[in-house]
Amino acid sequence: MSARAPTSKLRLGVLASGRGTNLQAIIDAIEAGTLDALIAVVISNKKEAQALERARRHKLTGVFLDSKPFAHEANSREAYDRAILDVLQKHDVELIALAGYMRIVTPVLIGAYPNRIMNIHPSLLPAFPGLEVQEKAVDWGVKIAGCTVHFVTEGVDEGPIIIQAAVPVLQGDTADTLSARILTQEHRIYPRAIQLYAEGRLRVEGRRVLVAGASESPAGPLISPSL
Ligand code: GAR
């Protein structure tokens, strides 16, 4: 994939199912001027999603798209994604950001937006794909956890990795305390990943995402527990 030519403000479509703190981080970064994009539309599959309330509060277009009317169709997931696609295209969305979107995205969307859908996941992929991953990290006894922003491909949580942040897992951690520590980093790296895209600095080569002008000065290893 070649990089985006940054000629105008990147038009984002955000898909969210829940509380929407990652959506909020994106909104905050735009308002702070650190993310050069605009949110063209926020779409949720949950009517009561706090993400839609956040959209309203910031005078963004929010759309609730119920999946129930599609449930009886033969390919209900694809039919639903066609409806999503319709909304995204009506708003001239260039990049889709999944922000706590708890549905599997089908080839209908992926085909229309190849390497133009990002997802944030609360683990250091490829470790712990799927759900309840912070709990799994605690249960496994890993010492370092984190979060990942990646492009979305057909395999769940398998797409090319754009940026990751690592955090230590502490001895007394529960899934909740670890989730909170990871979430703080999610809010930093997601707007950053989108900004890199907006600046046309991301190029996908096979599994790898090359970041033009990335600062690769070594930050030092994260050792947990520390030495
Ligand atoms: C975030 O932790 C995000 O990484 C996770 O859901 C949470 C949504 O929080 N996403 C996934 O697990 C996707 N597989 P938010 O609604 O406050 O942004």
Both 147 and 200 in one domain: the answer is yes
Both 37 and 85 in one domain: the answer is yes
CATH number of the domain that residue 138 is part of? 3.40.50.170
Q: Nearest residue CA, atom 9 of ligand 1?
A: 100
Both 72 and 136 in one domain: the answer is no
Region 194-202 average pLDDT: 98
Asked whether residue 141 is assigned to any structural domain, the reply reads yes
pLDDT band at 56 (very low <50, low <70, confident <90, very high): very high
Asked whether residue 3 is assigned to any structural domain, the reply reads no
Residue 171 is encoded by which pair of tokens? Answer: 């001895």
Q: Nearest residue CA, atom 16 of ligand 1?
A: 20
Give the model's pLDDT for residue 49: 98
Q: Nearest residue CA, atom 10 of ligand 1?
A: 100
Both 28 and 109 in one domain: the answer is yes
pLDDT of residue 1 exceeding 90, the answer is no
Give the model's pLDDT for residue 96: 99
* Residue among 21, 157, 158 whose CB has most ligand 1 atoms within 8 A, to mutate: 21
Domain with 169, as residue range(s), is: 120-211
The answer, as to whether pTM is greater than 0.95, is: yes
Give the model's pLDDT for residue 5: 78
Give me the active site residues, please. 121
Both 69 and 21 in one domain: the answer is yes
Both 24 and 56 in one domain: the answer is yes
Asked whether residue 167 is assigned to any structural domain, the reply reads yes
- 205: phi then psi, degrees, rounded to nearest 5: -125, 100
Asked whether residue 4 is assigned to any structural domain, the reply reads no
100 alpha carbon to ligand 1 midpoint, in Å?
A: 4
Residues near 205 by Cβ (< 8 Å), separated by ≥ 6? none
Region 136-144 average pLDDT: 98
Domain boundary among 86, 113, 140: 113
13 alpha carbon to ligand 1 midpoint, in Å?
A: 16
Locate the ligand 1 atom nearest the alpha carbon of residue 25 and give its number. 18
Q: Are 14 and 49 in contact (CB under 8 A)?
A: no
pLDDT band at 3 (very low <50, low <70, confident <90, very high): confident
